[in-house]
Structure 1
Amino acid sequence: MPETPAEYAGRVTPEQLRTVLVEAVAETTRCAQQPEGAVLRRADARTPGHWHSTIALRAAAQSGGDPLEVADHIAEVVRAHPDIAAVTVTGPGFLGIEVRAASLLAAVTALIADPEPSSDPERSDVPESRDADRVPAVRAPNEAESTVWGVDAQLSRRAVDANPAYLLMRTHAHTRRLHRRAVAAGLPVAAPDAAAEQLDAVDRSLLVHIIDTPATADRAVTAGDLRTLIAALDELSRAYLAWTGDHEIVPTLDHDFTGLHAARLRLVVGVTTVLARGLRQLGAPAPERM
């Protein structure tokens, strides 16, 4: 696997963002741990890379402080973090946090460098061995079990995107084909840090999909929930295919290579990595060509 480039050394996943918030609470209040009931949720698709948190309200309730004052103090600490672009305080003390696009891209690059799940799905930031037996496996269903995939037996044999097994494998093959084209064209593997800030809202939405899917997949595998695992991979596949239809990843002969092209290639490799990982968890092949 490729090593993580130095320019992507800083990264923020949702789990790491929770840690940043808990540390900020500890620094500004008497709460040494994440306040009970605090919620961190992703904002809607119009603002990818943004999260909302109720941690200030919960910390204020536990410490007896004024919610707005606690929120302002936490926001001031979190703003100083190098991977955070902005923090806003709204309403009675809700926090809105924007993660830098470069940090999101760094999280994808780290995933590419170390794609296998940890032994504890809740600690996706802990590097683990890449041995195949560390990948939780759910056997792919046979024809009689095809309803688990949400399709009937007849559809499960058809090469159409309505068949999720076919869609996942086709999408993986598509990412590999696009990567081969990029390499043949001489597109650089690494992108300058500043290029990430050129990524548009759809690029950033795909970034968040790539980051979120492995944790969702691991929780589904642990619970034996095949449907949720397939649904998460299906959603990523469809987001990727829609993205490639609207974005230039490999420049044409009339265009020069740019940092933006290189950054988008990292997204392609990120989707490849997550789909290959998920297909292994399903016990299904990850084809190079279809």
Structure 2
Amino acid sequence: MRNLEPFLSSAANPRVKEWAKLSERKYREREGKFLLEGVHLVQEALEAGWPLEVVAFDEGSGVLEQFEAYIDRDDLGSAKTGAETKWIPVSPEIIVKCSETGTPQPIFAVALKRPPEAEGLYREKQGLVVVLDGVQDPGNVGTIVRSAAAGGATAVVLGKGTADLYNPKTIRATMGALFHVPVLEADLEAALPRAAECGAAIVGTSLQAALSCYEYDFAERSVWLVFGNEGAGLSEASNAFVHANVIIPMSGRAESLNVAMAATVLLFEAQRQRMFN
């Protein structure tokens, strides 16, 4: 196990302090790194070949048995620096210090941000892009990323005011889906008109819309689905670029759907039309 490093016991260790700081957005942005907590997220990252700087695990927990196949792999780590992933046994105190949950799992990783290239989105002839305009709740953002990955979306675009993708709550809500669908930040006032110029339809949702989402043709060309803030909806700036609004019919009694639920319905209706109609 050539990548296994010496045991770390003290939560006051400088390396540990740097890892713990990644719970704050300003440090994540400065360092270009973020934390992954728990067996499932670390496994998903490793399976996807995501660049991990460090995997830290509770030496006495036995959790390493689930990861032995990954320890000496050469395709992990950072392609940018050429560094391999370091596997570090640590004390339970360190696990707690670097965790955001009340009952932390015995493993976490320090991952590198890997922003996707945006230009290819505009060249997609049958793209399906989810756009979030000020969706503030990390759970909603993470759930939408998860639905986008499951529904075969081309990408998720995060506009201004949207919750940070690398917030621990957002990451947990994605359930590892952020490793399987490109997610990028963009200025929507530039991205939406650019997408339209390249032939994409910009589609929003509205309770006042006359057109049902089941009548709209999601299969004919690229579609960018735009979802707004939980309370205020789409901003005026983004709404100005929308070509069509659709409504999700509801036969029961409910005022509206949660934004993550609405996004999921439209994603899977688009998938149904494109694959099963």
- Which bracket does the TM-score occupy, shorter chain normalised? under 0.3
Going by fraction, where is strand more abundant, 1 or 2?
Answer: 2
TM-score for both structures, normalised by structure 2: 0.25
- Larger relative contact order (C-alpha < 8 A, sep ≥ 6)? 1
TM-score for both structures, normalised by structure 1: 0.24
Going by fraction, where is helix more abundant, 1 or 2?
Answer: 1
